[in-house]
Amino acid sequence: MLEVQNLMVFFENALALNDFGMEVREGQVVGVIGSNSAGKTTLMNTLSGLIIDMRIKEKRRGGERITVYGKVLFKGEDITKTRPSERVKKGIVLCRERHPIFPESDVSQNLQMAGYLRKRSEIRETVKEVFDLFPALIPLKSRKAGFMSGGEQQMLAVGMALVARPQLLLLDEPLLGLSPMMQHLLVDAIKGLKAKSGITVVISEQFARPVLPMIDFGYIIENGMLTLTGTGSELMDNPEVKAAYFGI
């Protein structure tokens, strides 16, 4: 479904991603694991196309130069230069780290607004699926999003991404800053996505322990470079991964 070839991203003279490659098959949950500043968010911004808008904004204001080399293929089509809005229409949806919500609107309104590209019947159907996936949001339907906890807002953010009906869902550090209980709820929801809908998921995280058991395949990234690959169980059993991420 998704293929990344020889991807290199520079911010001025700083190399954020160095000759990175990956493949995501339809229906898989794929993890990109790395410490802070490893290049995970740069990768997700490149896959979603946000890097294109970032380049345009930086050029307009005379800011840092962003340069991208390599290719991103989606279902065999080269989308390297495709704008993010067009990628959403193709089915690629990003839920960013600390994804923006509409704090003055309630939960139901946030979900409905996220489906602006969809028919009303599709929105109603998907919103119901979101509440099935995140039952903790049901009693919060009428609560303004700005008054929700960080974990509740993260569930809402993922729900908003799902209302857009993605074929490929990109989750950028969804567990960041969440309590262990909220992390557990979100991990269970991602597992449920695979079981119920078959949506393909790419999740980037620095918290390897809750992520590795649920992924089909994983990529370990350090300083913008791919260092290890393998199935979730293979990476869980790898001594280098245990030492770096589990303290074993």
What are the domain boundaries of the chain? 25-36+84-246
C-alpha dist (Å) from residue 17 to 4, 9, 21, 70, 169? 12, 5, 10, 11, 21
pLDDT of the residue at 248: 61
pLDDT, position 169: 95
Alpha helices in the chain (DSSP H): 40-48, 50-60, 84-90, 107-114, 120-133, 150-163, 180-196, 208-211, 232-236, 239-241
- Give the pLDDT score at 245: 82
Task: Please write the tens of the pLDDT for every residue from 91-119.
Answer: 999 998 777 789 999 999 999 988 877 78
Distance CA 80, CA 52 (A): 9
Identify which of 129, 127, 132, 99 has the alpha carbon closest to the alpha carbon of residue 112. Answer: 127
The pTM assigned to this predicted structure is 0.92
Residue 10: helix, strand or coil by DSSP? strand
Residues of the chain whose pLDDT is less than 50? none
Tell me the sheet residues that pair with 200.
168
CATH architecture assignment, domain 25-36+84-246: 3-Layer(aba) Sandwich (3.40)
**Which pLDDT value is given to residue 247?**
65
